[in-house]
Chain A
Amino acid sequence: MFMKLALQSLLDRKGSVVLSIMAMTISIFVLLSVEHIRHEVKESFSNTVSGVDLIVGTRTGSVNLLLHSVFRIGMPTNNISWQSYEQIASSSNVKWAIPISLGDSHKGFRVLGTNQSYFQHFSYGKQQALRFAQGDEFDAVFDVVLGSIVAKKLGYQLGDSLTLAHGIADTSFSRHDNLPFKVVGILAPTGTPVDQTLHVSLQGLEAIHLDWQQGVKISNNSLTQTDLEQAALQPKSITAFMLGLKSKIATFKVQRQINTYANEPLLAILPGVALSELWQMMSMLEKTLLLVSALVFVAACLGVNAMLLSSIRERNREIQLLRVAGAPPRFLFLLLELEAIVITLTSITLASILLLMSLALSQDYLVAQFGLHISGAIYSERSVGILVAILLTSCIAALIPSVYIYQKGINVGG
């Protein structure tokens, strides 16, 4: 009966109640999405690379190196000579090394030049190795292995051929169109930037840049594919490389050796440490976003209270009636609190539905555009904590109208 009274009374004031619920739904939606996306981005980033002990690149910021080598965000500032790579890769502590060469693209997707050890040693998530959905790793100079999203978005099958563009812009005018690549493998989805990458051999990259100088094509069709496949294509430089060490204990030692490498200025980073540096940079932004959304919620809460408070004025006779029927003032207090709780719970439900719907709609876009896998599991321990805090906050905020109606209830005779 108590619940019915609260519900019916809210239904009776549909207009203002619906507006309050809308305001609150939007504010809870913002809070939940900020929290969820924050959590998921971290998860997604942390899952991108695993089992790599060191990432080596040219001297730059550690976050910068991490971003362009692993997440394909931003550009490398300089290259590393092949000799340095070979020397470090063959040192006694190193178990395996994956060279990475970036800079070209295909229809907006980045092209990664590497070798076979990439498919053997690169892992993501919880030490999961790369798997092939179709085909196999590249073998010939002009073979290409596609990430799952590249294959899906561009509709490539095994055996299709494609040409690469110089630079990373989709509309690049300088194309390596005289030298097409053949799709030999398509990787299974990983939920990491690997899905949006085209993998070619370092020799392949070397071949298409053979008749280029300073990033400009200097002649047309001077070289044919067969010429190139016969030539010994030794890469001169790469962008970065990843190292797996024989013993984790040696990590810092190897890192120091690389950082003090005499022949060339190099930087070695631990992915985990660089990632936490990145989070530190982001935490200010995160906190600001969370604070802003919390304030939006408080504003919505006050809006609900203003609505409840003004409703009390219209309910003078109702209060008198309930009191005469024997309702104690605390009943009126609880009635208003219950109305606030009903509004909040409705808003939480609607906000969750809204968030789930918008996640479902934007998932493909986020993956394609940012390589972010935002899962639909919006109820983490933390977000449930936030929901409880939301409920408590609105109960506390509703004390204002509730105490007011309580006072009215006491003074009903006077």
Chain B
Amino acid sequence: MAIEVSRLRFSYPEQPEHSVLTIPSWSLAKGSQTFVYGPSGGGKSTLLNLLSGLLTPTEGEISLFGQRLDTMSSRQRDQFRANKIGYVFQQFNLIPYLNAVDNIRLACQFSQRKKQANINDDITDLLTSLSIPERDWHCAIRQLSIGQQQRVAIARALINKPKFLIADEPTSSLDPVNRDAFMALLMSLVAENNITLLFVSHDMSLANYFNHVEALTDINRIEEHV
């Protein structure tokens, strides 16, 4: 299994009695592509932050590829995230004052890739395969279109060859044409590299790209402790 969650409960330290997330049991198979839909405020960001190791569960276990995330130190989690997890946000995926190449290189900074010599070649290959024109590689990110920015974001997320990719509403700021192009590109890259994808969105029209579709309300079984 790529992801296994059991008896997970999360509450913010300020309100320990108020559970934001309660997941009795949930898992994702290796190489699966899963679409999770749900309204905002349904514990979506909390779930993603738990899976990426930015938050630790109040109770319960989270395992990614057989490794227990909840028992790792924060340093180990940072390292694990850098090496194994890619992340694409709705927007602001890139440091605005760095150019595309430097943004991607920055992602290598924190992973084991840092020591490898062929990073530049990989960046070039990746940007070429994402059809970003070479003249835009060294432009400030602000000068790129939103569609281009999201493609560079994919490149940044994939440069460390992650096993798990989290996409958090990545198409919300795109127009329909760009959205379809983005989805096609994302799905082909994920399939090609055998990456486990968790795609979160409220836009149900995207569900037909996926073989697994789940509602967040089915995963998160909050029993309100009043």
Contact = CB atoms under 8 A, between A and B. Distances in A.
Given A412-B54, A414-B12, A325 B106 contact: yes
Interface residues of A toward B: which range? 20 to 34
B105 A328 contact: no
B54 A323 contact: yes
Contact of B98 (A5, A323, A327, A412): A5
Contacts, number: 74
Secondary structure of the A contact surface, majority rule: helix
Interface string B90-115: 00111111100010011101110000
Given A5-B106, A12-B97, A321-B92, A328 B75 contact: yes
Interface in A289-340: 317-318, 321-329, 331
B61 interface: no
A326 B98 contact: no
Given A1-B105, A1-B109, A413-B49, A321 B98 contact: no
Interface string B22-62: 00000000000000000000000010011010110000000
Interface string A1-23: 11011001101100000000000
A68 to B, nearest CB: 63
B106 A326 contact: no
Nearest to A318: B95
Given A12-B96, A318-B95, A324 B87 contact: yes
B110 A325 contact: yes
Nearest to B93: A321
A333 to B, nearest CB: 13
Contact of A2 (B89, B109, B156): B109
Contacts of B75: 328
A5 B55 CA distance: 26
B97 A8 contact: yes
8 contacts: A4-B102, A5-B95, A9-B97, A324-B87, A324-B89, A327-B109, A329-B74, A413-B55
Interface of A: 1-2, 4-5, 8-9, 11-12, 317-318, 321-329, 331, 410, 412-414
Interface of B: 12-13, 46, 49-50, 52, 54-55, 74-75, 78-79, 81-83, 87, 89, 92-98, 102, 105-107, 109-111, 156
